[in-house]
Chains A and B, each alone.
Chain A
Amino acid sequence: MTFVEYKMLNPFQRFAYNFKKFFKNIPSAIGRFFKACGRGIKKFIFGIGKGFKNYGTTFVKGDWATKLSYLIFGVGDLHKGKTYKGILFFLVEVLYALYMIFFGWGWFKDFFTLGTRKTYVTYDEMGFPVNHPGDESMKILLYSTLTIVITAIVFVVYIANIKDAYRHQVMKQNGQKPTTLKQDAQEFLDGKYHITLLSFPVLMIGIFNILPLIFMILIAFTNYSKEHFTLFNWVGLQNFGQLFDVINSNKKATTFIGIAGWTLLWAVVATFSNYILGMVVALMINKKGIKLKSLWRTLFVITIAVPQFVSLLLMNQMLQENGAVNILLGQLFNGGQSMGIKFLTDNVWTARITVMVVNCWVGIPYTILSMSGILMNIPEDLYESARIDGASPVKTFTAITLPYMIFVTTPQLITQFVGNINNFNVIFLLSGGGPTTTEYFGAGKTDILVTWLYNLSMGNEQDYGLASAIGILVFIICATLSLIVYNNSKSMKDEEAFS
């Protein structure tokens, strides 16, 4: 389609065209994504190779202090007069050694077996039990992970120490002096300001997000469950195998496929219903001539402000068989007799639709807020010229408002989609996964993957290995999806459009 042809389409056709184009592009975008991943891996491996080469050549070219830096951190820097940095490097080594001796190694040595000694009880001469605690696989795994991460960090510091030693050696050979502490500090406020700003958040994320994440990923390859609570083992891909074991119609596989299907359906419907209805309401509120704009918005916004565990539990109570909704419906249509509709516990689709409707109640206000802002931001001169051209209100809407909003909010749509895949609160607090079914393992008909994961890890089943495997799969789905969309979206491509 040429540009002229495109321009001749009416906005709805354009929208349809863009919509189609978007979906048509998905396969190629996925292809590009995996290619990019491949390239990344290749680059990484080459990088390692290069690193080894540099490691060797630097050693050959280095003077005695640089060479000694291969064993003792910071010697090179100290020798070249960069005292503070040399001391810091050396301190890292000392601290690492102390950590390994007093803590790290004791846990890490059991990493491959995850512990073997069982807890047992004997009795003393008066008959009192004496507890002999054995190994705890969970702690072994956690602190081993910690040790691995710390070792990795220290390795990076180690390489930096060598590089720095060599750099200073070259500088000295060229007759340059190393920079002073003050100069370095200045640099950290300017050229290297990103390091200053990022260090604290990255440290926090590293300790409390990435480390637990690695731990959780490792759990997926163990049989950590209530039967193997204190001592568990590596089991390879067994947990993933269970989830995809369709051939033997493994109940866990049936559950996984059923729930994954519903999760996707839920995410699509929840995202688009919120988006479209929210947009309609926002348009109504922002229409010219409608008064009390802020009052309307305020009334909707209350749902955002009230914590979800309050509002959703309240909804749950109200939708019970003898809850407020049934009482109200009864008074309106049934002569005061409660209707007794089982919204959340009986029919599968009644429950699913109820959950989706309540989700609109929760989600529409967010859309209204962001849409209202965007609507107010549409450049006024666009409307002005449309009015001069004698365009009808309908025409103005379809030609200006709608395309603008769709263009501007696509990235948000994706965020919401991913958010809905992981929308724990609405399902957990509202329906608790019900109605129950005999088809699934540890899940009900409105359970989505995250709530099932919750049931498996925190609930009765306590199958942590399986739960982690599900977590990894959810992560892969969400991450792939959003990486593809973000890296292909307009806002990412012309990141500096406004600057």
Chain B
Amino acid sequence: MIKSYKARRIISNTLIYIILAVMCIIWVSPFAYLLLHSFRGEGYVTVNYLIPHEFTFDNYIKLFMGAGGDASINFPRWFLNTLVVAIFSCIISTISVLAVSYTLSRLRFGARKKLMNVGMILGMFPGFMTMIAMYYLLDAMHLTRTLVALVICYSCGAGLGFQISKGFFDTIPRALDEAATIDGANKNQIFWKIILPMSKPIVVYTVLTSFIGPWCDFILAKIIMGDDRANYTVAIGLQAMTTPEFIQAYYKQYLAGSVCVAVPITILFLKMQKYYVEGVTAGGVKG
């Protein structure tokens, strides 16, 4: 009996290993393809075989050093822009999210439930039309074609994404606050000295999600930056490389650029994965 149980377990585990291995191959192979072809030496846009015949670093070298001659393709600059925007918008976003979610979770005041409902649904408006309005508001502040505008755009709505971190704060026992209040702490001190130090997972989760945003948006950023290529982000730049004007000459560089964007974020993500899981779990359960 025991033996057959063990045998069954071995069989089922083997089966699971096989399934997982196959799935992982499916999941990873597109990126493997991307990586391989970013080193491709021959051809223009596509080739009719899977593995490149010539491998070269040229695509990467041209991407970073060439700066494209006449074409104002300036990947290093774009990369730097995106990094700056990502850092600042993630700082502001994190502050907003934490402030809103802490307030809605731990503080009690009249309009709390209403604010929560409004906050939840506001983010559901599909907002392409709002981009025009945003552009002219930023223009009235003389901010268009600047990185500041992008930071504002990416962090302005952050407060609306409070659900997950509110869920997280909900799980912290209320007795802690009460004990601190008895000891004479005010709410400000409770927030900074007691709750925040316990919230590493959710802080990391918020930082991570808001850091990734600027690397992905190519619609709003394009509207704001217009013709000012020096202030492009990588997403607009890479997207531009696939337009008819550039695709013949730049497709392989586009692949290389995609790798350059994907690798750092992936590494960051993998490093922070533990916290991400903790944050999303604790928050998701309740949020």
Chain A positions within 8 Å of B, measured between CB atoms, are: 138-139, 142-143, 145-146, 186, 189-191, 193-194, 196-198, 200-202, 204-205, 207-213, 215-216, 219, 281, 284-285, 287, 289-290, 296-311, 313-315, 317-318, 320, 322-324, 327-328, 331, 338, 361, 365, 369-370, 372-374, 376-377, 408-409, 411-412, 415, 418, 422, 424, 449-450, 453-454, 457-458, 464, 467-468, 471, 474-475, 478-479, 482-483, 486-487, 491, 495-496, 498-499
> Provided the pairs A205-B157, A491-B286 are in contact, do residues A198 and B50 lie with their beta carbons within 8 angstroms?
no
| Size of interface on B: residues with Cβ below 8 Å to A | 95
Interface SS of chain A = helix
What are 6 A-B contacts defined by CB distance under 8 Å?
A190-B187, A200-B99, A209-B130, A215-B129, A296-B20, A496-B170
A contact residues around B276 at 8 Å (CB): 369
Of B49, B136, B277, chain A has the most CB atoms within 10 Å of the CB of B277
Report the stretch among B55-63, B67-75, B114-122, B224-232 that lies at the interface. Answer: B114-122
Once the chains bind, are B28 and A299 in contact (CB under 8 Å)?
yes
A contact residues around B31 at 8 Å (CB): 302, 306, 311
Q: How far is the CB of A176 from chain B (nearest CB, A)?
A: 23
> Provided the pairs A189-B186, A211-B137, A302-B266 are in contact, do residues A361 and B27 lie with their beta carbons within 8 angstroms?
yes
With an 8 A cutoff between CB atoms, is B248 at the interface?
no
With an 8 A cutoff between CB atoms, is B24 at the interface?
yes
B contact residues around A361 at 8 Å (CB): 26-27
Once the chains bind, are B284 and A209 in contact (CB under 8 Å)?
no
A contact residues around B27 at 8 Å (CB): 299-300, 302-303, 361, 365
Query: How long is the Cα–Cα vector from A219 to B27 in the complex, in angstroms?
Result: 43
Q: How far is the CB of B127 from chain A (nearest CB, A)?
A: 7
Which A-chain residue is minimally distant from B97 (CB atoms)? A201
B contact residues around A474 at 8 Å (CB): 124-126
A contact residues around B282 at 8 Å (CB): 373
Q: How far is the CB of B138 from chain A (nearest CB, A)?
A: 9
With an 8 A cutoff between CB atoms, is B246 at the interface?
no
Once the chains bind, are B155 and A328 in contact (CB under 8 Å)?
no
B contact residues around A370 at 8 Å (CB): 277, 280-281, 284
With an 8 A cutoff between CB atoms, is B146 at the interface?
no
Query: How long is the Cα–Cα vector from A464 to B133 in the complex, in angstroms?
Result: 12
> Provided the pairs A138-B132, A314-B33, A374-B285 are in contact, do residues A307 and B215 lie with their beta carbons within 8 angstroms?
yes
- Supply 17 further A-B pairs (C-beta < 8 A) apart from A311-B31, A467-B129, A471-B129: A143-B140, A145-B133, A146-B137, A191-B187, A205-B157, A212-B137, A213-B127, A216-B130, A306-B265, A309-B235, A313-B242, A314-B258, A408-B285, A411-B287, A457-B128, A482-B121, A486-B120
With an 8 A cutoff between CB atoms, is B219 at the interface?
yes
Once the chains bind, are B129 and A285 in contact (CB under 8 Å)?
no
Once the chains bind, are B48 and A322 in contact (CB under 8 Å)?
yes
Chain B positions within 8 Å of A, measured between CB atoms, are: 9, 13, 16-17, 19-20, 23-24, 26-28, 30-31, 33-34, 46, 48-50, 95-96, 99-100, 102-103, 107, 109, 112, 115, 117, 120-122, 124-134, 136-137, 140, 152-153, 155-160, 163, 167, 170-175, 186-188, 191, 212, 215-216, 218-219, 235, 238-239, 242, 258, 261-262, 265-266, 268-270, 273, 276-278, 280-282, 284-287
B contact residues around A145 at 8 Å (CB): 133
Once the chains bind, are B20 and A289 in contact (CB under 8 Å)?
no
Once the chains bind, are B96 and A305 in contact (CB under 8 Å)?
no
Once the chains bind, are A498 and B173 in contact (CB under 8 Å)?
yes
Smallest CB-CB A-B distances: 6 pairs = A373-B281, A201-B159, A212-B130, A499-B174, A212-B133, A208-B156
